[in-house]
């Protein structure tokens, strides 16, 4: 769409699989996750929601500004998406 700005994709984003190979999740059962986004100068962990899945790939919806209403959608490898983060103490 011409009136929507284009944003760069994270470096770790992957191409979307063919539509027949994806499994949609209902809006009731969207799964909250933490997504790892790789940018040219840093790593970013963001809260996200899984909206579709495919073999080894996950489509996540995330918010670049947690206080704004704009959302982004990105296909990531399933290894870049976690339900939680744990660190040794």
Compute CA distances 15 → 19, 46, 77, whole Å: 12, 20, 10
Q: What is the pLDDT of residue 1?
A: 44
State how beta strands 57-62 and 43-54 pair.
antiparallel
Q: Which tens digit of pLDDT belongs to each residue from 17-74?
A: 887 777 766 555 678 999 999 999 999 999 999 988 888 999 999 998 878 888 999 9
Indicate the fold that domain 22-82 takes in CATH.
Answer: SH3 type barrels. (2.30.30)
Torsion angle defined by CA atoms of residues 76, 70, 1 and 15, in that order, rounded to the nearest 10 degrees: 0
């Amino acid at each position: 769409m011409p009136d929507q700005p284009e944003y760069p994709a994270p470096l770790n984003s992957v191409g979307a699989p063919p539509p027949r190979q994806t499994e949609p999740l209902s809006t009731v059962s969207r799964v909250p996750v933490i997504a790892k986004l790789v940018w040219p100068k840093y790593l970013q962990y963001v809260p996200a929601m899984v909206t579709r899945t495919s073999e080894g790939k996950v489509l996540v919806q995330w918010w670049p500004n947690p206080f704004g209403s704009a959302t982004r959608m990105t296909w990531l490898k399933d290894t870049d998406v976690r339900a939680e983060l744990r660190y040794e103490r």
